[in-house]
Structure formats: C-alpha cells, structure tokens
Structure 1
Amino acid sequence: MLKKDEPSSSQTQPSSSQIHFDICGIPDVELNSSLQSKGTEQQLECSKNGPRVQQLTSGMVLLKKFINLKNQVEIIKQCRELGLGSGGFYQPGYKNGAKLNLQMMCLGRNWDPETKRYGHIRSIDDATPPSIPVEFKHLVQKAIQTSRAFIKRTSNSIEDTFPKMSLKETSNPTKDELPKMSPDICIVNFYTTSGKLGLHQDKDESYESISKGLPVVSFSLGDSAVFLYGDKKEDNAKKVILESGDVLIFGGESRLIHHGVGNILHGTAPKLLVDETNLHPGRLNLTFRQY
C-alpha cells in the first residue's frame, strides 16, 4: 500500500491554493546565461563512457546515467511549465484527510490514488491532464530499445556458452525480453527531501497491458533515491540507488514487482543541474506506461 501522511485537517479535497506546486520555486525558468557558454554546454551534453546497463532481475533493467544533463534540464523545465498550468502538480489525498508524501501530476490520463482508476479528467478540479511531450516519448523508446538490445546480447552469450542445448534446456533465454511499449500515461511525482512511497504494485493499467508485461519506464532527476523492490515487506526488499539521469525499466516477468521509495538522499543532485534549473531539493520522477 502507499504510505500516507497523518491527516492534518478534516478537509477531503485540496483547495485551489494547494495545487500547482512549483518544483523550482522561481517566477520563470530560463536557462542561465552559463548555458550560452560553449564549455558549459559541452559539460551538459557529455557522456564519457555512455550509460552502464545492469539487469537487476528478470525483466528489470537499470540504465545508469542514460539521460544527459542537457536533457535533464529540458525535462525539468517542461515539467515545471506543465506543473504550473491546468492539471499541474498537487498533493494527492484521501477522503479521510490523509495525504501522500509527494506532489503529483499526470500526463495523458489522470490516475486517482483514491479510486485506483484512470480517467480523462481530475476529480479535484475537473482539469484535463496535459499531453505527454513528444521528446519524453522519444527518450522512452530509446531506453526500451537499449534495454532490449542488452537483453538480446546477454541471451546470445548464454546460447554461445551452451551451443548444443535446445531452447528448453537453456531455460527459455527469451524470458527476460522486454516487450515494446508506446506510453500514453506518465505519472510525474516530486519528492521533497522527506518524501517516500510505500511498497506497492503498478497494477491499475488495462488487463491487456499488464498481461503482456508492457514495461513501466521510470526517469529519475535531482536528488538520488533509495529504491526498494522485490518483496512486499520493506525489511526484505532489495535496494538500489537511483541517481539523476538514471532510467529504470520493469516489464515482462517483473511487470507487477513490488517497489517503492525508501528515502531521498539530500544534496546529491548534480550541482550543474541545480544551477541551471533552481530545482527544489528533492527528486523528480516520471513513470511512463501504456494503458
């Protein structure tokens, strides 16, 4: 279940003054003048060795530093602009007054934590969710392609090691393959330094999407987070640090894996990223999925 804050009042729905949380806390995000410097732009774009790819478990792949700093800046800028508009950031809550320990915005379709259902309008203010920017979709597709290629290479290595064995005897080497996915939903969460999210499953998408194992793709920006996965109980869950620019994908056999955010590691965001965006301390997380 999602962890909730203790109720602070008897209010059941947020007022208009409680929505449109500003993740940057400044009147207008403009790329700082340093971005005009060739040296700074090269720093933002550079990726010395490319992303490191790691398979955490069957169907679960971590792409370290997959999103370069320049793209991270642009994602934050777009999320801030969308978050201040209609359907933007707010703190989700429940009828008993409890609140989730994060700020949320939905793109494509709205997800309601109370009903666990998707819809085309948000019940608290009748706002229509903004569309998913096409640049975000391109990065999702690139991440899935990279992960699928990695899994294919790994499977081929297994087959090369046991060239005389049949597919059945090699325990079905294609079982880790991630299906392709075209995102029409993005849930954007901003965790302050005290933010967290209890262990849960992403299981509110359509039966077809889940049964096919269509992956969830997660972008991390800002401060690092301790990500928990693999068990219903926090004490038994595995842990991995998700840093700014990391992409985590879980699909196939891991599509319904239990996962959550243990805590945010304050002060770990890249300095250049903070300098260019004035992002509040905390973690910006985008999770894409296909309904």
Structure 2
Amino acid sequence: MTDGLFRLPRERAEIAPGAVHVPGWLPPARRRELVAACREWARGPVPMRHTALPGGGVMSVRTVCVGWHWQPYRYTRTADDVNGARVAAFPGWLVELGRAALVEAYGDDDGYAPDTALVNFYDGAARMGMHQDKEERSGAPVVSLSIGDSCVFRFGNTENRGRPYTDVTLESGDLFVFGGPSRFAYHGVPKVCPGTGTGTTDPESGLGSGRLNITLRETGLAGPHRPSRGPLGA
C-alpha cells in the first residue's frame, strides 16, 4: 500500500549521471521561509507574470526572478519585458541553500555561487514543455526545489525533446539537482496533481494551493566562464 499510514518511503535516486533526486530534503520550516520569500518577491519590484514568448505564445506558469531577470532567451538586470524595474537582489542565504543542496547531492559544493533564481508558480492547469536551461554562461549545476502540489517531472536526454526520458514524481520538499553530463538535458513538467500539497500532505508550507518551483543557477555573467562539472558533479 502507498497511501496514508502505509505510504512507502521514497528513496534518493540518481536519475541520470549528474542528476540526483533527494525526496523530502526541505524541512517544513524551510518550506515556510521559502514560501514567504517568494510571496515578497512576487510583489515586486518586478511582479510575478506569465512570460510572453517570441512566437506570440504565453507560458502557463507564472514567473518571478531574483538576481537576474530571465526573458526568452537571455538574462538582464532589469525586466525590460515587464516594467523596466531592476529585479530583487539575490540574497546570501539563498547562496548558502544552494551550496547545501550540492553537498547533499554530490558530497561537496565545488564553490557553487548561484546568482539567480527563477520562481515558477503552477496552478492545476499549468505545464512546462520540454526545454534546456542554456542561457547561462556557466556549466554549474541547476538546483531545483519543489513546494506544494506534486508534479510529474520529465527528465530527458541532451539531444532532443523526445525519448529516452524518465518521469519522476516531485513532491513538496523535494530537491532535484542536475549537472555534469546532465546539465543540458531537456526537461519539463507535463502534469501537476492539484490538491496533493495541501491537507495532510503538506499543511505546514503555508502555500495553500498550487506548486512552487525554485531553481537556482549560476549565470556566469558577472565573472569568468565556469567549466562544466564532471560525472556526478565531481
């Protein structure tokens, strides 16, 4: 059985070389802190918005950025596609959280220095198509943190959007890190499971509904190019 008191524990897993899933890594108190911080960032100076794509489409997730502003397909300090304001500064405590995540995933932080966060909010209908995170000039890993509703996270290959890929269920508090040979793997979210992050599942995050995903990255824009890490981030 997998529900209620008889729910089987989820195990840490290496999904692909350099791609590590750590279930339940964020404790409830840290989830609450992150939700409160994301709410503050969403108020501005650049508000959370649906990103408009160059082809005329609009992303179903809502996004707010910290440190650097991402717009398709580049980083800027000011949100020229929203209101022209400079984005909120990237806080030191978020750097430390990113380093702790790498220690958990790889055994060391290798001098990890994230300088931007993309905060995506998914309601029950939001999805994310298969894509690569490749606007960064750094090959340092991406740290992904999940809060609230569960989702199906599709982690693919580095060549195309199709198979082979692995579907992973990400739940509230989960950590997913991808670097090394998996740094530029295609990935996406084909499904969110509404209501799974509330009630008895995660009553302490304070999110209420939906899924919050926070990805930490090194842009490589403020310093020298950082080479990619080797297998398993070594």
TM-score, normalised via structure 1 length:
0.66
Gaps of 5+ in 2: 1-8, 220-234
Are residues 246 and 118 of structure 1, via their aligned partners in 2, closer, same or farther at CA, if it must alter by over 3 Å? same
* One-letter code aligned to 1:109: W
* One-letter code aligned to 2:77: H
Q: Which secondary structure state, in structure 2, belongs to the residue aligned with residue 271 of structure 1?
A: coil
Alpha-carbon contact 2:148-2:205 (below 8 Å) kept: no
Are residues 192 and 235 of structure 1, via their aligned partners in 2, closer, same or farther at CA, if it must alter by over 3 Å? farther
Q: CA deviation at 1:53?
A: 2.9
Distance in 2 (alpha carbons) for counterparts of 1:278 and 1:285: 14
Matches within 5 A, 1:180-259: 180-206=111-137, 209-210=138-139, 214-231=140-157, 232-234=160-162, 236-259=164-187
Q: CA deviation at 1:88?
A: 2.5
* One-letter code aligned to 1:89: M
Gaps of 5+ in 1: 1-49, 150-176
> Does residue 1:290 correspond to 2:218, yes or no?
yes
Q: Which residue of 2 aligns with 1:134?
A: 92
Kindly, what percent of the aligned residue pairs are identical? Answer: 32
Are residues 87 and 185 of structure 1, via their aligned partners in 2, closer, same or farther at CA, if it must alter by over 3 Å? same
* One-letter code aligned to 1:249: V
* One-letter code aligned to 2:75: Y
Number of residues paired by the alignment? 208
Distance in 2 (alpha carbons) for counterparts of 1:275 and 1:251: 32
Q: CA deviation at 1:281?
A: 2.2
Alpha-carbon contact 1:110-1:121 (below 8 Å) kept: yes
| C-alpha RMSD of the superposition | 2.3
> After superposition, what is the alpha-carbon deviation per residue over 1:190-238, rounded to whole angstroms, capped at 9, x for unaligned?
01111111111100011xx12xxx1000000000110001243456421
Are residues 274 and 87 of structure 1, via their aligned partners in 2, closer, same or farther at CA, if it must alter by over 3 Å? farther
> Does residue 1:119 correspond to 2:76, yes or no?
yes
> After superposition, what is the alpha-carbon deviation per residue over 1:61-99, rounded to whole angstroms, capped at 9, x for unaligned?
111100001110110011101111211311111355421
Distance in 2 (alpha carbons) for counterparts of 1:72 and 1:112: 26
Q: Which secondary structure state, in structure 2, belongs to the residue aligned with residue 101 of structure 1?
A: strand
Q: CA deviation at 1:266?
A: 1.0
Are residues 224 and 104 of structure 1, via their aligned partners in 2, closer, same or farther at CA, if it must alter by over 3 Å? same
Distance in 2 (alpha carbons) for counterparts of 1:134 and 1:178: 15
> After superposition, what is the alpha-carbon deviation per residue over 1:149-205, rounded to whole angstroms, capped at 9, x for unaligned?
2xxxxxxxxxxxxxxxxxxxxxxxxxxx98542100111100111111111110001
Greater share of residues in helix: 1
Distance in 2 (alpha carbons) for counterparts of 1:277 and 1:269: 9
Greater share of residues in strand: 2
Q: Which residue of 2 aligns with 1:67?
A: 26
Matches within 5 A, 1:154-165: none
Alpha-carbon contact 1:73-1:273 (below 8 Å) kept: no
Distance in 2 (alpha carbons) for counterparts of 1:271 and 1:67: 18
Alpha-carbon contact 1:179-1:251 (below 8 Å) kept: no
TM-score, normalised via structure 2 length:
0.81
Give 1 or 2 for the bigger CA radius of gyration.
1
Q: Which secondary structure state, in structure 2, belongs to the residue aligned with residue 245 of structure 1?
A: coil
